[in-house]
Each structure stands twice: as C-alpha cells, then as structure tokens.
Structure 1
Amino acid sequence: MLPEPISGHSLILLALIFFIISPSCSQSDPRQILLKFKTELAGSSTQVFSSWNENNPVCKFTGVVCDDKNSITEINLSKQGLVGTLDFASICSLESLEKISLRSNLLHGNISSHLSDCTNLQLLDLGDNFFAGKFPDISSLTQLQFLNLSLNGFSGPFPWNSLEKLTNLAYLSLGDNLFDRTPFPSEILKLEKLQTLYLTNSSIEGMIPEEIGNLVSLQTLELSFNYLVGAIPEGITKLTKLQVLELYDNELSGGFPVGFKNLVMLKELDVSNNSLDGDLSELRNLTRLVSLQLFENKFSGELPREFGEFKFLQQFSIYHNMFTGELPARIGSWADFQFIDVSENFLTGSIPPDMCKNGKIREILMLQNKFTGGLPEAYANCSSLIRLRVSNNSLSGRVPDGFWGLPNVRLIDLSLNQFEGPVTPNIGEAKSLAQLFIAYNRFSGELPEEISKVSSLVEMELMHNQFTGEIPSTIGDLKQLNSLYLEGNLFSGTIPESLGSCVSLYDLNLAGNSLSGQIPASLGSLRELNSLNLSDNKLSGIIPASLSSPRLSLIDLSNNMLSGRVPESLLSEASDSSFAGNPGLCADGSKGLQQCSPVPHSSGGLGVAKYCFIAGALVLVLSLACFVLVKSKQKDCESLINHRFPWDMKQFHIIDINEGEILRSLKQENLIGKGGSGNVYKVELACGKQFAVKHMWKSGISNDRKNHMSSTAMLPKRKTRWPEYEAEVATLSSIRHVNVVKLYCSITSEDSHLLVYEYMPKGSLWDQLHTYQKTEMDWNVRYEIAVGAAKGLEYLHHGCDRPVIHRDVKSSNILLDDEMKPKIADFGLAKIVQLNKVMDSTHIIAGTHGYIAPEYGYTLNVTEKSDIYSFGVVLMELVTGKKPVEPEFGENKDIVRWVNDQMRSNDNLIALVDPNISDDFKGFASNALTIAIRCTIRIPALRPSMRMVVQMLEQIEPRFPIDIVIENDINIVKN
C-alpha cells in the first residue's frame, strides 16, 4: 500500500523542526566566524582586514591558511597591531583549525576556558601581548606542539597539571608573566620531545631538578630571572643537543658540574649574576661558543688558553669575578668579535692585540685589573670601536696617535694608569666622543685647540696629569659640556672668557694649576653651574658679582691673590675655607675673612662737611634716577601692551587672554617655582582665570642684563635656537589628553619665551608626598594618581602620531589639580621617535638622579623603556612614601635597590608599604609594588610597555572591603 502523500502543513512542520535542530549558519559558517572575529578587533588597522569581506573566499583572507579541502587550518596575524579581546568560543568552532598565531599585538583581557575547545590545535602563539588574569586549563589540547604565552600579564597559579597530557610539546614558552611562585614544575620533566623551554621570569623557585636531564631533545633552555638556588645539576650535562643555556640572575652556587664539557653544541652560555665559583676547565672544549657571559659571580683561576682558539666567539663578558693570569693572546682574533668585558678581576699581562682584526669590535672594557704594557698599535685604526675602558691598571707608554681621532668612539677611559705623551690634534676628528676620562696619568704638552671641535663632548676629566700651556680659548664651542675637570696640571695663562658659552656646564674644576689674571665675569652666565673650584692658582682682581647668579652648591676660590669685597650672596653658599688664602679679600667678618674697611675720610670739620655734602648729593641724584627709572618702566610697559615691541603669541587652545595682562603678572610675589629651564609664576587674570606661566630666558644672557631689563621690555637681538623651549612647544602644542598638562599658548620674543599652562592648584606629586605641603593620602587617592599618570604616559608612547619619550618622568613633573587628578608636565627634555629610532645625537644623560634608568650609564640610548623605569620609581614613591634617594638606603643605593634588597631579606611586600596607608588598602598597595618592580627590571626589553602597565594597574583597582590577599610569597621580579 502506498504511503499517504505528505500534506503542505506537514512539510512546513518538518522544515521547521529541521531548522530548529540544525546548527545556525552563523555558528557553522567560517566566513561569519571570521567576520565576527574582525568585529571584535574593531580598533585594529583596517589594512590588515581589507581582504576580510563578503566578496572574498575565506581562504583569500589575509593571514588565513586553508587545506586542499578549503577548510581553515591556520590563522596567522602576528605583528599586525591588533587591538581588542578574543572570543575563543567562536574561533574554536573552526574544527580544522590547527594553528593560531597572534604574537606581538595589542590584545588584552582574559583567556576564556573555551580555548580548551580547540582540540586540534598544534600551535598556539599568544606571546608579547597584554593578556591578563589566570590562564585556563588546556589539558584537552593533546595535539599541541608549540605553546607561547611569554611577555604578557598572566597572573595567579599556572595550570601546570594540564601540561602532563601535552606530550607532543616541542616548544614551551611561558616566561615574563606574573605567575605565582612555584618549585620547578615536575610536569615539564615528562615532556621528552621538548626542544625549547623558556621559563625566564616565571617565579620558579628552589633547585633545578636532576631530572632535567630527561629532556634530551632540548636545544634551548632559559631559566633566568627566577629564584633558583643550589648547584647546576649534573643532569644538565646529558643535554648534549643544547645550543642555548641561560641561567642568569638567580642564586645558584657551586661550579660547573663534571661533564659540562659534553655540551659541545653550545653557542650561547649565560650564567651571570649568580654566586657560582670554581674554575672554567669544563668550558675549554666548547668551541662553538658565540656568546659567553659569566659576569658577577665568584669564579677564579686562570682562563683556559683554548679560549683564544674559539673561532666563533663574538661576545665575552666575565667582569666582577676573581680570575687571575693572562688573557689568551689570540682571543677575539677569529670571528666578528664585538664585545669584551673582563673588568674587576686580577688579570695580568698585556692587552690582546688582535681583537679588532676583523673590524667589528664595539666595546673593550678591561678596567680594574693589573694589565701592563701599552695600548696595541692596531687599535689606532679600529674605526668600529665605540667604548674603551682600561682605567685602573698599570698600563704605560704613549697612546697611538690615530687612536685619539677614532670616528665612532663615544667613551675613552684611560684613567689611573701611567700613560704619557700628548693628546694629539686629530682628536678633533672624534666626532662622536662624549666622555673623555684620562685623569691620573702622565700626559703632557698642550691641550690642542682641535678638542673644541668635538661638539659632542659631555664630560672631560683630565685632572692630575702634566698638561702645560693655556686652556684653549675656543673651549666655549663645547655647548654640550656638562663637566670639566682640569685640576692638578700645569696650565697657565688666563681662564678663557669663552667658558661662559659652555651653556650646559654643571661642574668646573680648574684647581691646582698656574692660572692667572681675573675670574671671567662670563662664568656668571652659566645658569646650570653647580660646582666651581678655582683654588690654588694665581688669580687676582675682584670676585665678579655675576658669580652670584648660578645656584652654586660648592665654590672654592681659596689660595689665590684675589682682593676686594666678597659678594654677599656668595657667603651664604660658601664653606669656611672657600676664600681662605686670599689676604686681599674682605667681607662682613664671616667665613674667616677680615672686615672690609669703611670709606676713608680726612680729619677736621671741613673734611666731614665735604663728605656729608657729597653723600647728600648722591642721595639726591639716586632719588631722581629712581624716579626717572620708574617712569621709564611704566612707559616701557605701556608701550609693550600696545604691541610696540615684538612679542608673538601663538594659541594652541581657544582662549581669550591678553598678553599684556599676562606680562604684568610676572612679579616676584607670584613666583611659585624655579627650574633648570626657567621660573614659573601663578597668573590670575581680572576675569578670575588662573594660569601657570613658565618664563624661559635665552641661555647666555648675563645676569646683570636680566637684572636691568624689565620682564616686559625685552628688545630683540638675533635669531637663536632654544632646544628646551622648542622641545616643550613641539611636544605639548599637539597633545590633547586629560592626563597631560594643557599648553594654552606661547608668547615669545628674541630674548625670552613664556609658556602659558593650565594652573594646577595642588602642586606636584613630590610636594604632596615629601614636603611640608604634603597631605594625607590613602591608597585610593594614590592609586588614581598612579593610573592617571600611567595613562598620560601611555598616550605619549602609543597615542601620538609618533611616540613621545618624556625623558624626565618624576614625581615633581606630575602635577595635581583641585581633585588630585594627575597631569604629566615639563617636556623640556622630550624627544620624538622618528623613523624607528630616537632623535638623540647629543649623548647627554637626561633626567634626574634616582629616576634615571641604568642603561643610560652604559648605552646612553633613550627609549620608551627608560620612561617606564622612571614611572616604576614614581610608583615605588607612591607605595612606600619614600624619596628615590634616602640616606637609609645606604651608600650608592636608591629606592629600586632598597626595595629589591628588602624583598630578598624578608620577602614581605606589605612591610614596605607607607604606614600612612590604612591597613585595609595595604594589600592593594603591595600589588602595585609588584608592578613597580617589573617596571624597574634592569634589562629594558623585559620591562612592560606603558599600555601593559595601565592594564595591570586597572586589574588591581582597590575595592572595599578588600578582596585581594597578598601572600608573603608574592611574585617579585628581581632587579
């Protein structure tokens, strides 16, 4: 019997049932899944997703790879500037997906547990992003061969147990996150297919287990920046395929285990900054080494002579150990040798002659040893050399002439040896030289005039040699010079007047020479001058009144032939011996000086009457002069306001102000701050609006002229460049951000500049933390300041057309408004990144002591990471309440060293929190300290970006009652 025909109603019902039980097209359609993924990253570059549209097949989407069945097997969008969060629930519905690579983007947020649905994944690369929170269990991803989560903000415990089932893993990289501290995970020791293991900065503690030898396929093992203790295990000698072994910055002890010589494939070995000891005999057969880093340990004995035959060696650093004997004569003569640092040992013998044989060496650092002989003649042609430091040895002889003129050398340090002979005129060809340290030698002859052509010079230390003749008269051409030390030589003649043109000069010491003549008045125009020592010379005449202008913290003019009255303003800054040994000097009886004689007068009534008449006449004349001067000033002011003088106002925000009203307010009673680049005044207009006005003088204007010029009547002289002013205007005029101070306008003349800012009534963060103006701030207030300042810096680094590097981030440059909202200020040192490099050719160490990143000291490179270090210091100030430099920290220590030392001794962050922060919030504050420690990591590359810093700060937002507990074993990134 035939079945009954299905009615139309039945067909509709069946279709409806089929539609309900079938997966929706949006769930199964790869195109819709990928377009949804694109939507989630709406803030990303549109160029990346230009091919992701309805018209293209999905296999033609940029970064999408398909198999021969047109099933999606790979999404590769590394380094594409992606911004946003990930929805693994949709991505993992692509059943054929085997590879996800999103490395080096700007992705953030948590990773959802839906990641475990990607069961066919073989590769997952999420490294170098801003993901945060706990990482989920991934034990279901049993096909995984490659896992990279490094350089993110993951925190809490890592699910180590989930690795047990991932037996196919060949590449595992979890480093540079904020995971909880843990012993070496035993689960990793079962992953016998591992070729790369990167756990640097992963909070691993305890000993490296012997079972590490089970991982016989390992080619790269990196366990640096952790809390590892004990000896390097013997099991590591079984890893005969190792090419890279990095264990630096731990607390390892003992020597290289017997059998370490089996690791003959090693190319890079770094065990620096531990407490390892013994000799290096186990390394003599490692002939493939390219980089050997053993510095800051306790190694001893002689260096194996086989090191001289290592034909691939390019980098060799063993400083701060106890090595003895000679360097192998042929070391560095084979490969493209680039770098050697053997400083602070007990090495003897001569400097190897052929380290520049292939013309690639950049740095030779051999200070504080017992080397003898001279500088090898071959180095006179070493044009690749950037830094040479051989100070504090027993080197002697004449420096090869060509050496002085090396074109790329930035630092020459020959101090504390027995070198002799002249500095030759070809030093003028050393166009990159920034630091010249040749003190405490036997150099002689005249200092060549050509040294004035080295415009990049920042520091010169030539003291205690046998230089003769005059100081070059053109020395004023060195506009970048910060410090000049010529004491203890045989210089004669007068002090060059041109020294007053060294506008950056901070320290000047010419003591112990045979200089004569008068002290140049031009020295008073050095606004940055802090220390002046002209003692033990043959100087005569009066002390110029202009010397009162610089803010000197040290002045020593003793043992000369000076005469006359000491300017009263110098007496308050001077010590009791500052003017000793000058019989002709007098004062008001202070500082051990004789009382100045009164005006002499003759005997008799007629004489007295005569002088009384003269005095009266003088009073009358002065009174008339003052009257005329006041009237003149008033006229000048009126003329200025009527725009007769060439003031030029440029507005950067729409604002209704009159420059005349601004100018009239620049009075002493309105002064609210002084800085290296000018005075700052509070200006309140008749309409009630308040502004802060920075008044910047042209460098080099004499103080006498300033004192006799009205701030409202300055005449133009000539066109000049003002780098600080230009930097500040160029930076601030285009910036629009709530956490960056607003520059309303500039008012300029040829002699000075006025910058008109919004007024910040609460002063600076420094004021609120460290001065008599400070107020009680609980953590919730400090936290908001930290986040606001971080967002301001994030905007500068990431939000501008070209990244702006502030270079002087500190608490005194973070200003606060009425509501304690922070704004980044003072951009006088700012630099704008251009063409993937920093505009910085001056080699000046910019910034403020206590905030300066350590890399300034040895590279002088300026990057965003330097700002991040300085912000980390500010964050430490906010948490601890302490200044960046305090006597309690100990000699040569700052807050960064102090915090890290305290953590090593008691491992308790909460103990470091400012007692003024209430107990309810101390846990949150100590969370911030972990971020500060990460910002101040010694290695710049390991510091987070400001974008990541903002994200981490937002994740520790304080709530009440407190719901975050900080344990004593909180994750700390060691410095």
Structure 2
Amino acid sequence: MHYVHIVLFIILAVAFAGGAVNEKEILLELKQSLQIPADSVSYFLSWSSAADSPCKFSGISCSRDGSVVSIDLTGLSISGTIPFSSLCLLPSLSTLSLGSNRLSGHLSADIRNCSSLVHLDLAFNELTGEVPDLSLLSSLHLLNLTQNVLSGAFPWHSLSNLTALESLSLGDNYFDPSPFPTVVTTLTNLSWLYISVCNLHGEVPSSIGNLTRLINLEFADNFLSGEIPPEITKLNKLWQLELYNNSFTGKIPTGFGNLSDLVFFDASRNNLTGDLSELRPLNKLVSLQLYYNQLSGEIPLEFGDFRNLVNFSLYGNQLTGQIPPKIGSWSEFNFIDVSTNFLTGPIPPDMCRMGRMKKLLLLENQLTGEIPANYANCSSLIRFRVSKNSLSGTVPPGIWGLPKVNIIDLEMNQFEGPITKEIGNAKALNQLSIAHNKFSGDLPQEISGASALVAFDSSLNQLSGEIPASIGQLKSLSSLYLDNNHFSGQIPATIGACSALNAMSLAGNWLSGQIPSTIGDLPNINTLNLSGNQLSGDIPASLGSLKLSSFDLSGNRLTGKVPAALCISAYNESFIGNSDLCGDNTEYLKQCSLPSTSDKLRIVLIAAIITFAVLLVCIRLHILLKKRVRAGDGLRASWDLKSFGVITFDEQEIIHSMKPENLIGKGGSGEVYRVVLESGNVVAVKQIWNAGEGDRCGKGVGAAMLARRSSARSKEFEAEVATLSAIRHMNVVKLYCSITGEDSSLLVYEYLPNGSLWDRLHTVAGEKLGWLDWETRYNIAVGAARGLEYLHHGCDRPVLHRDVKSCNILLDEEFRPRIADFGLSKILHPTNANDSTTHYIPGTHGYIAPEYAYTWKVDEKSDVYSFGVVLLELVTGRRPVEVEQGEQMDIVRWVAERINSRESVLALVEDQIVMAAEREAAVRVLRVAVLCTAGVPAMRPSMRVVLYMLEEVAASRAAAAGGGKQDTAEEEEKKNDGVKGDCEKVV
C-alpha cells in the first residue's frame, strides 16, 4: 500500500510539473473525448490550446492560485465518455457537474481517485454498468447519479464513509433488488435523499427518524411494504415527501401534522387505509396526491382553507361526504381530481376564481346540483369531466364554448336544456360526451366551428330537429353517436365529407328519406348503425364498397334489392324489419324476382341441363376429394365459412387453391398458403390442424397437439376469431374470414408480399431475402410498436399477443409492418386436464420473458419483453438464440455482457449500418430494447412509453435525457380519455 502511494505521488509530481499548463491539457483531453452538438459548439470556443489559462474556459472555475476547482458542463447535450483517469489528476477539483447530457460508458473505478470532490453530479445521462465502491470520496457533500442506466448491486455499504453528505440522489436506475439501505439513515447531515426507482424491497426502518435535517425525502416507485414508520413524523423540516407506487399499508401515522412545512406530499398508488384527519394541519400544502389507495371518511373541511393548494388528487378511494366548498378559492388552483369515490353534494363554486384552473375531474361520484355558472368564464380549462354523477339543471352556455377545452364529459347525469350555439367557439374541443342525459332542442349549425372534434356522443337524450348539414365540415370526426334521440328529417349528404369517420350510429330516431349514397365514400367507416328510423328507398350501391364489422339497417322502410356485396351471412340480421327488401342467393331475404308462368317451361329445361352438369361436376369432385383424402391431404368436403366483412370469394375457391405449389410456410399448428383469387387479389391462408409441425423461424416451446374438436371447441374457436376480426389497425394484419372443417380450420388473411421480419433479418434456405437499411428497420420498429400499443392500450381491455417475435411481424409491399398470429396460442394449445402437457408456456424460445419460469402468468409486460428482443434483432442482426462455443447464448444476455463502454455499445450495431448518425440512432433504439428486456417486469416500460421513446429517436436525436414522475392528472386522462376500441380481451 505504501508503494502505491509513492507511485501516485510520482505521477502527480510529473503531471503537475508544468503547473496550469498540464491542467489545460487535461481539460483539452476531456473536450477531445466529447461529441459536441452544433448548438453547443460556441460554448467550447474558449477551450483552445491557444488560451493562456484553463481558467478562461467556459464552465471552468479556478482557485486564487489558478488551479481548477470546478467543471460545470451541465445541460449542453454533449455525448461521449468521461475520462475519469485524467480528470482525477486535477489536484484541487472539488466540483464535477456533467448532468443533463448524453454521456455514456461506465462510471469508472478511477472516480475513487477524485478524493477532493465535494460536488459530483452525473445525473440524466446514459452511464451504464455497476457503481464502484465510493468509500474514498469521503469529502462529498453532494452525490447525484439520478436517471442513468446503472445496474448491478449498488455499494450501499460504502456510503457509511461519506458522513459529510448533504444531498444523495441515486434514483431512476436499474440496480439489483435490495432491502431498504439502513446505512443512509446514519448520514445525519442529509437534507436531500432521492432513492426512488432503485428496486428497494421490504420495510422502511424506524431509524429514518434520525434524518431530522431532511427537507426532501423520496423513495417512490419501489417495492416497499409495511406501514409508513411513525418516526417519519420527526422530520419536521420536510418540504417534499414522495412515497407513491409502493405497497404501504395501514393509516397515515399519528402526528403527521407535525410536518408543518410540508409543501408536496404524494403517497398515491399504495394500500393506505383510514381517513385524512392527520393532514388537517398541513396548511402549506401546494400539491396533495393520494389517489389509488383505500382511504375512507370525509375530506377535511380545513382543506378548503389551504391558501397555497393548487394540485389536489384523491381519485380511486372510498371517500364520502362533500368536497370542501371553499377549496381552490384562495390560490391559482390548477387541477382537482377526486373521481371514483362516493362523494356527495355540489361542485365547489370557486375553484377557477383566479382563472388558472386547467382540469376539473369529478367523474364517478354521487354529486348533485347544477354546474356553477362562473365556470362558463374559466377560459383556462382544458378538461371538464363530471360524468356518472347525479348532476342536473342546464349547462351554462359558456361551458360549451370554452376556448381551450379539449374534453367536455357530462354523460350519465340528469342535465337538460339545449346545446347552445357557443359550441362553435370550442376550437380545441376534441371529445364531447353528453350521453344518457335529458338534453333537448336542436343540434346547432355552429357545431361545425368545433373543428378539432374527434368524438361526439349524444346518445340517449331528447335532441330533436334535423341533423345539421354543417356537420360535414368536421374533418377530424372519428366517431358520431346520435342514437336514441328525436332527430327527424333526412340524413345530410354532407356526412360523406367526414373522411375520418370510423363509427356512426343514428339509430332510434325519426329520420326519413333515403340513405345518402355519400356514406359509401367514407374510407375508414367500420361501424354503421341506421336502425330504428323511417328511412325509405333503395340501399345505395355505394355501401357495398364499405368494409364494415358492424352494420345495421333494421327497423326501417327500405325497399328494393340489397346490393350483392351486402348479401353475406355476417349481415344476416342487418335488414330485419324492412319487409320490402329483397336479395338474391340469400337465406334471410326474400328473392327479388319469381319466374312468370310463360317462362316456367324454359326454366325447367334450363334447370334440368344445369342439374345434369352440376351432377357431373359433383361426381368428378367426389372422385378427386376421395383421392386427396387417401393421399393424406386430410381436407374434408364440408366447410363452414364465417366472414368478418365484405369478401369476394367463397370457401371452395380457397380450398381448391390449397395446393403444394402454393405452400409458403409452416407454423407450429399447420401450414400457410399463398392463394391468388379469381379476382386477381392475393390472400394468405393459414390451415390449423389437430397436430402441429416444427416452426421454421424458431421452435415453439411446449406446443401441444390439438385434439379433435367438439362442437363446444368449435364455438370457442369462432368466438375467439370473431374477436380478433374486430381489431382494425394499420399495423395489425387483417383477418377476412374463417373456414371451419372437421379436421382443420382455415384463417384467411391479407397477404403481405415481403414476408416476415425474420426472413429479412436472418438466413432462410442459405441466404437472406434482402438487406434492410436502418431507416426501414426503424420504421418497422415504430410501426410494430404502434400495433402492440393499440392492442395493449387502444381497446376496452388489453389484447395480449403472447408470441411476439420477428416471425410474426409481416411486411407489406412498402415494408410497413403488421402484427400477426396474436391471441391464437390459446386456441392452438389447449391446456385441459386431458392434454399430455399440463402446463403450457406461450411463446417461442429466445423471446420468452424470464418470469414465465416462476409464475405461469402472462401480462402486457411479457409482450414488452418479447418486443425488446425484436428490437435487439433489428439493431444487432443476431438471432434470438445463437450457439457460441457449443453453448446456447440468448441475445438479451449477449447484449448485457457487452455494454461496457460507448465503443462496445457501438460495436453491437450490425456492421451494415455504417453511417454515424444511423449508428447513433441505432444505439438509442438499443437502449429502449434494454429497458424492455429488464428482468423485473415492473421495470419494463409500457408499450405506450416504448412507442413514445422510439418516436423520440427520430423527433430529436440531440434531446437531453429528461423525465421524472408523470403528472397525476395526465395519468388520470390516460385512464379515462379517448375513444375506446371495440376489441375484447383475448386471453
């Protein structure tokens, strides 16, 4: 050890023999290791070898004797690595601030040589690897490593030597699971402690009460349990306390009111019980967040006297009584969310008294009374949501026309009166939900002024008059529900100009006249319901071109012939109650024409000839089918077709095209054929057998053989496939129909000519199908993420894929991706007691999330893991599992072992991606993939966040890493907002 000190002394002596000149060279070496973006180049102009002293460099501070004491390069968007080995040779360096950049590489063990450091801030970067022992940095007052990609076991024990620490921030990293680090409670000089998202488990020790100098305490987003220790009430200097998203139980500790300086308190997303009485003395609160607990009792009236309170979120509890009537009256109140409780009484009248309120969220309670008139003047509001209460009276006219509001949600109350012409002033209005009320009067022409409107639901009201023609000016309108009102007159032809319209229901009104042919011009319409009106005349032929999953014209006065394209079994109840409608070749509509007496003889002769010809064809077909069965083809002559939209083929055309020469692939449950229809269109047909074969793009794990299906099994199959057919998304493969037989079933999909992503990335029959450039790979990643995000978040309930892999991402002619084969693993792999395999792990080896090994449960985070593997394939070009040195190596482990430095990370990118900017983007996608493949499911982002991160790669490559806890009001909006899809949960 003595020898080491001598060597270090010699190095320092040599390094600083030239005084400040050597310090300048060290700083120039630092500059050399950085990549500096264009907007920060000017900042570093002073960093020149021509400068006579480094003290003149921007961001550098020196002592009186000219030694460098501080390096501050915060927030300059610089990337590169940090040369700790040379920086720590600066003998007087006490401050190193490099936060809010894009620095990468390891936190080198050389940092321990910076023994003079008092201030070390490396937060909001991309540092990786483990944190070394820090015990030699005993002079530190501030240590901030927040939001990097640090992993492994954090050296908590080494903090015991850092007794001078006043600020410790380690949150938002990926450390190994650890009990709450009791060692931090011995650092009694701490005033700031941030250890949120550190993978902490267990209970918080009572010794937390030792940290009496704390003004900020955050250990949110961990796995902490037990009760909040009562000793926390000793921390009477606390300004902020963040405990959200843990598993705390019990009541808010007695004496919590001792925290009289508390300004921000968030204990949301726990299991706290009891009432809020302990919070009554906390009159300095600015933000109170306790949503998603099990709190009960009344909201203390004292909250109405809190003069600084601007954010108030208690949704998802069991609170009763009234909202304090004076709440928000004293401050520039920002938002209130007390939804999903049992609150009664009126809406407090003065929450927008200062004109700053943005969000009023009171839905799902038992509130009564009217909307206070003064909210009509609250021009700052962007959310006004009071649905599912017992509110009544007329809506103040100004509410309809609030200039910034994008959601007005009044549904399921007892409101009455008209929608006033002020609606034309609502230029930002995106969603208007007023269903299940008693609104009356005309729908004003001025509604066209709400030009941003996407969703409008006024069903189950008493609105009357004609539907205004001006509604055709709503170019963004996606869903229109005016059903069960008293509308009369004709459907305006201008409705056909609403090109974004996806769903429209005008059912249960008094509409008359003909159906406008312009409805057939709507390119995106998926649901059309005009039932229960007095519509007359012919059904426009243009409706036959629509691809509808839900279609209903029943209960009208329609006449004439139903267009042939609409005469399908999927619509067999769509025309009930129209006695004068007819159709040809259908079982549920009367025939349009009957032969006259004079034509009978000719018809009989023609029929006899046709019958004879058909008989000959049938005999021939019988012989051919018999030969095919004997040859092991297994196709049966009896098939049941169920379509999920308008199709131009029948089952026989599909069946007869399933020849060996049309076979394009084999899956774990059957074969896939490319079928060219008589119309010239091409479809893909998947034949599902009772027994599966090997999967050419990765061997399935635990694939069970299907037993011969009973009628109940067939019903389950049809119900499951019908659910999948309802999914409509540009990045999810379209299912046209199912054809069910005795030995197998056929699924007819759209055909994707460029095969699967697996085919494009990996070797097939000795060679790749074609190289994908980075832009194409990136677009595939984003498109596939959009498809999965829709399945997880865009439906009423999440649809789980359960077998995400590159083989199930198909590519169209423009290489746009489609998610395929989702949800079918439940059908293809039964798990009843009679199966030979009692447990089935859905998925494919190499893509399966590690939690399957101990839980047998599948959720959205399992899909996220599998998608992360796909991202790794896209960036590295490797297969999910490769054999190296005789041992199988999965891609997740392979990547994790090579994230050691920026150079090693860049080396992971496939060699064919050569441009520097593209490699930089690929590294950022790689980082997303690493997040997705975290071993602990809770550490993985949702698909909504994954999509956002991928889109950010293109949006701003130079954006500095940022983030933090999500605003709770926005989180509530994600819970409730938007137009839900019509999907059902498949698993």
* TM-score calculated relative to the size of structure 2: 0.66
Distance 2:850 2:438 in 1: 42
Distance 2:888 2:273 in 1: 44
The 5 Å alignment of 1:411-430 reads 411-430=407-426
* Residue 214 (structure 2) aligned to one of 213, 218, 224: 218
Residue pair 2:216, 2:240 contacting (<8 A) in 1 also: yes
Residue pair 2:535, 2:557 contacting (<8 A) in 1 also: yes
Structure 2 residue 7 is the aligned partner of structure 1 residue 30: no
Q: C-alpha offsets along residues 39-76 of structure 1, whole Å, 9 cap, x if unaligned?
A: 11145543232111122221000110011111100000
User: What displacement does 1:949 show?
Assistant: 4.8
Task: Indicate the residue corresponding to 1:503 in structure 2.
Answer: 499
Structure 2 residue 225 is the aligned partner of structure 1 residue 233: no
Distance 1:927 1:308, change over 3 A: farther
Q: C-alpha offsets along residues 818-860 of structure 1, whole Å, 9 cap, x if unaligned?
A: 44465565999999xxxxxxxxxxxxxx955734896999xxx
Residue pair 2:62, 2:68 contacting (<8 A) in 1 also: yes
The 5 Å alignment of 1:442-521 reads 442-521=438-517
Q: Which amino acid aligns with 1:563?
A: T
Q: Which amino acid aligns with 1:40?
A: S
* Residue 355 (structure 1) aligned to one of 348, 351, 357: 351
Structure 2 residue 252 is the aligned partner of structure 1 residue 256: yes
* Residue 53 (structure 1) aligned to one of 48, 66, 69: 48
Distance 2:406 2:694 in 1: 43
Distance 1:374 1:514 in 2: 31
Task: Indicate the residue corresponding to 1:150 in structure 2.
Answer: 146
Distance 1:215 1:827, change over 3 A: closer
Structure 1: 5+ residue stretches without partners? 1-17, 612-667, 670-706, 712-762, 764-770, 780-806, 832-845, 858-868, 932-944, 959-965
Q: Which amino acid aligns with 1:46?
A: V
Structure 2 residue 87 is the aligned partner of structure 1 residue 100: no
Residue pair 2:321, 2:345 contacting (<8 A) in 1 also: yes
Between 308-317 and 918-927, the greater mean CA deviation after superposition = 918-927
Residue pair 1:225, 1:974 contacting (<8 A) in 2 also: no
Structure 2: 5+ residue stretches without partners? 1-9, 607-647, 650-678, 685-691, 701-728, 734-751, 763-770, 810-818, 828-841, 870-878, 899-919, 943-987
Q: Which amino acid aligns with 1:31?
A: K
User: What displacement does 1:877 show?
Assistant: 5.5
Distance 1:542 1:21, change over 3 A: closer
* Residue 321 (structure 2) aligned to one of 321, 325, 330: 325
Distance 1:953 1:268, change over 3 A: closer
The 5 Å alignment of 1:82-481 reads 82-481=78-477
User: What displacement does 1:887 show?
Assistant: 8.6
Distance 1:581 1:120, change over 3 A: same
Residue pair 2:932, 2:940 contacting (<8 A) in 1 also: no
Distance 1:917 1:183, change over 3 A: same
Q: Which amino acid aligns with 1:850?
A: E
User: What displacement does 1:810 show?
Assistant: 8.2
Q: Which amino acid aligns with 1:221?
A: L
Distance 1:58 1:956 in 2: 39
Distance 1:923 1:158, change over 3 A: farther
Percent identity between the two aligned chains: 42
Residue aligned with 1:235, SS: helix
Q: C-alpha offsets along residues 229-272 of structure 1, whole Å, 9 cap, x if unaligned?
A: 11101111111111111111111111101111111111111111
Q: C-alpha offsets along residues 578-618 of structure 1, whole Å, 9 cap, x if unaligned?
A: 1111111112353521122146575799x99xx9xxxxxxx
Distance 1:592 1:876, change over 3 A: closer
Residue aligned with 2:422, SS: helix
Distance 2:693 2:485 in 1: 46
Distance 2:369 2:419 in 1: 19
Q: Which amino acid aligns with 2:529?
A: N
Q: Which amino acid aligns with 1:193?
A: N
Q: Which amino acid aligns with 1:593?
A: L
Distance 1:956 1:418 in 2: 47
The 5 Å alignment of 1:809-820 reads 818-820=760-762
Residue pair 1:553, 1:573 contacting (<8 A) in 2 also: no
Residue aligned with 1:221, SS: strand
Q: Which amino acid aligns with 1:52?
A: W
Distance 1:40 1:772, change over 3 A: farther
Residue pair 1:201, 1:973 contacting (<8 A) in 2 also: no
Distance 1:899 1:432, change over 3 A: farther
Task: Indicate the residue corresponding to 1:530 in structure 2.
Answer: 526
Distance 1:225 1:77 in 2: 29
Distance 1:573 1:855 in 2: 28
Q: Which has the higher contact order (CA 8 A, sep 6+)?
A: 2
Q: Which amino acid aligns with 1:172?
A: L
Residue pair 2:328, 2:351 contacting (<8 A) in 1 also: yes
Distance 1:160 1:826, change over 3 A: closer
User: What displacement does 1:405 show?
Assistant: 1.0
Between 101-110 and 879-888, the greater mean CA deviation after superposition = 879-888
Distance 2:286 2:807 in 1: 43
Residue aligned with 1:555, SS: strand
Residue aligned with 1:276, SS: strand
Distance 1:267 1:393, change over 3 A: same
- Report the number of matched residues: 724
Distance 1:449 1:30, change over 3 A: same
* Residue 559 (structure 1) aligned to one of 545, 555, 561: 555
Residue pair 2:153, 2:175 contacting (<8 A) in 1 also: yes
Q: C-alpha offsets along residues 96-148 of structure 1, whole Å, 9 cap, x if unaligned?
A: 00000000111101121110000000000000000000111111111100111
Q: C-alpha offsets along residues 708-731 of structure 1, whole Å, 9 cap, x if unaligned?
A: xx99xxxxxxxxxxxxxxxxxxxx
Residue aligned with 2:237, SS: coil
Distance 1:505 1:382 in 2: 31
Residue pair 1:577, 1:591 contacting (<8 A) in 2 also: no
Q: C-alpha offsets along residues 169-200 of structure 1, whole Å, 9 cap, x if unaligned?
A: 11111111110000011211111011111111
Distance 1:273 1:497, change over 3 A: same
Residue pair 1:181, 1:970 contacting (<8 A) in 2 also: no
Task: Indicate the residue corresponding to 1:962 in structure 2.
Answer: none
User: What displacement does 1:564 show?
Assistant: 1.7
Distance 1:955 1:418, change over 3 A: closer
Distance 2:519 2:932 in 1: 52
Task: Indicate the residue corresponding to 2:34 in structure 1.
Answer: 41
Distance 1:494 1:376, change over 3 A: same
Residue pair 2:801, 2:823 contacting (<8 A) in 1 also: no
Distance 1:873 1:81 in 2: 38
Distance 1:130 1:178 in 2: 12
Distance 1:79 1:19, change over 3 A: closer
Structure 2 residue 772 is the aligned partner of structure 1 residue 776: no
Q: C-alpha offsets along residues 916-969 of structure 1, whole Å, 9 cap, x if unaligned?
A: 9769768654899999xxxxxxxxxxxxx97775454798999xxxxxxx98x7
Residue aligned with 1:130, SS: coil
The 5 Å alignment of 1:682-697 reads none
Residue pair 1:180, 1:971 contacting (<8 A) in 2 also: no
Between 157-166 and 949-958, the greater mean CA deviation after superposition = 949-958
Residue aligned with 1:47, SS: helix
Distance 1:328 1:29 in 2: 67
Residue pair 2:257, 2:281 contacting (<8 A) in 1 also: yes
* TM-score calculated relative to the size of structure 1: 0.67
